[in-house]
């Protein structure tokens, strides 16, 4: 297992470097940060001094090489707009996004898997149609529209939850529902389709012939054998939530890394964009590694 983890970490290094190279190249098309960060009447000498202070006057390959050298030393540079270490700014926003993503993932999992099981076991019944219709509704509604409707109904009209903000469990409810809606439908459909395929296998019929109850057959025999695609989807989507919660964070004024990245792009804050994208990529790699390790416990044959 240790050898497997080490090999996967070594394989992740080229992927991480390639990702940073692409982001570094794309940022050159954002334009000159002095246009945003300096007054319109700033002299060319002041603009040149600003570029020199942040190393933006060097060729792109020199900038990238310096970036890699600093990263190797644990230095991701200084944010242009916040005038603080870019890593500190990112990690200051990370807990809010982690809290929102974890709440949305738990909510989606607790609803989607039972809904998928019901839709598979009660196939072509009213329960199946109702459960799948409910979860598919979440995939059909735009995230920003759903967020605004939840605010209008539950915050403005009923005054149950706050309109926006961050800090209490009540602030978390509406953003978590909004972010979980799309994932809920995707996970329920995956659970239903995989379970329908497994329920027709011989070992499931054998378990029923032995007199086992239907809940035992479904949970202990059928569901156990569809966990790998479900765990894969949960892991990938959980990592995706860290970087893809931008619309939800904007609608609810949630101070997470999604809004941080958007703000950094608009302000042409190159160091902050780099550290944010690099850390999100690192989260993707870490989650994929955890999922791979879980595979070996779900199905011991994968270890070999």
Q: What integer pLDDT is reported at residue 256 of this predicted model?
A: 86
Determine the average pLDDT of the residues in 185-211: 81
Cβ–Cβ under 8 Å, residues 252 and 178? yes
Cβ–Cβ under 8 Å, residues 258 and 187? no
74: left (phi over 0), alpha (psi -120 to 50) or beta: left
Contacts of 102 (CB under 8 A, 6+ apart): none
How much is the mean pLDDT over the chain? 81
User: In this predicted structure, which of 154-168, 169-183, 195-209 has the lowest mean pLDDT?
Assistant: 195-209
Give the Cα separation of 262 and 257 in Å (integer). 9
For the stretch 11-69, pLDDT in tens is 778 877 887 788 777 777 766 677 766 777 777 787 788 777 777 777 777 878 887 88
Determine the average pLDDT of the residues in 95-101: 89
For the stretch 231-281, pLDDT in tens is 888 888 887 777 667 788 888 888 888 888 888 888 778 788 888 888 888
Cβ–Cβ under 8 Å, residues 132 and 117? no
Determine the average pLDDT of the residues in 168-181: 89
* pLDDT above 60 (res 304): no
Cβ–Cβ under 8 Å, residues 189 and 135? yes
142: left (phi over 0), alpha (psi -120 to 50) or beta: beta
Q: What integer pLDDT is reported at residue 260 of this predicted model?
A: 86
pTM of the model: 0.79
* Token digits of residue 292: 């791979």
Q: What integer pLDDT is reported at residue 26 of this predicted model?
A: 74
List the domains of the chain with CATH numbers.
Answer: 86-303 (1.10.3720.10)
More confident residue, 179 or 209: 179
Cβ–Cβ under 8 Å, residues 273 and 260? no
Neighbours of 290 (CB within 10 A): 13
Determine the average pLDDT of the residues in 107-123: 85
For the stretch 217-231, pLDDT in tens is 777 777 777 888 888
Give the per-residue SS3 of the chain: CHHHHHHHHHHHHHHHHHHHHHHHHHHCCCCCCHHHHCCCCCCHHHHHHHHHHCCCCCCHHHHHHHHHHHHHCCCCCECCCCCCEHHHHHHHHHHHHHHHHHHHHHHHHHHHHHHHHHHHHCCCCHHHHHHHHHHHHHHHCCHHHHHHHHHHHHHHHCCCCCCCCCCCHHHHHHHHHHHHHHHHHHHHHHHHHHHHHHCCCHHHHHHHHCCCCHHHHHHHHHHHHHHHHHHHHHHHHHHHHHHHCHHHHHHCCCCCHHHHHHHHHHCCCHHHHHHHHHHHHHHHHHHHHHHHHHHHHHCHHHHC
303 pLDDT band, cuts 50/70/90, is low
* Token digits of residue 44: 């060319």
The pLDDT > 70 percentage for the chain reads: 94
């Amino acid at each position: 297992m240790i050898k497997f983890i080490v090999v996967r970490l070594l394989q992740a290094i080229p992927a991480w470097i390639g990702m940073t190279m692409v982001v570094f190249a794309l940022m050159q098309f954002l334009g000159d940060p002095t246009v945003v960060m300096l007054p319109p009447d700033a002299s060319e000498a002041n603009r040149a001094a600003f570029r020199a202070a942040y190393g933006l006057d060097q060729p792109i390959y020199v900038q990238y090489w310096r970036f890699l050298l600093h990263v190797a030393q644990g230095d991701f540079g200084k944010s242009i707009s916040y005038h603080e270490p870019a890593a500190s700014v990112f990690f200051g926003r990370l807990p809010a996004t982690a809290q929102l993503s974890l709440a949305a993932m738990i909510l989606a999992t607790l609803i989607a898997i039972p809904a998928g099981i019901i839709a598979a076991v009660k196939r072509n019944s009213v329960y199946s149609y109702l459960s799948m219709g409910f979860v598919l509704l979440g995939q059909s509604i735009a995230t920003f529209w759903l967020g605004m409707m939840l605010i209008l109904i539950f915050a403005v009209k009923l005054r149950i939850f706050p309109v926006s903000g961050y800090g209490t469990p009540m602030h978390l409810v509406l953003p978590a529902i909004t972010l979980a809606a799309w994932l809920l439908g995707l996970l329920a459909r995956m659970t239903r389709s995989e379970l329908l395929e497994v329920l027709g296998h011989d070992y499931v019929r054998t378990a029923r012939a032995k007199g086992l109850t239907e809940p035992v057959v479904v949970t202990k025999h059928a569901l156990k054998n569809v966990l790998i695609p479900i765990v894969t989807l949960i892991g990938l989507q959980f990592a995706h939530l860290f970087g893809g919660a931008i619309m939800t964070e904007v609608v609810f004024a949630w101070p997470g890394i999604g809004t941080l990245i958007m703000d950094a792009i608009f302000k042409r804050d190159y160091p902050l964009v780099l550290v944010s994208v690099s850390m999100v990529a690192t989260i993707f790699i870490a989650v994929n590694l955890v999922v791979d390790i879980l595979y070996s416990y779900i199905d011991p044959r994968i270890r070999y």
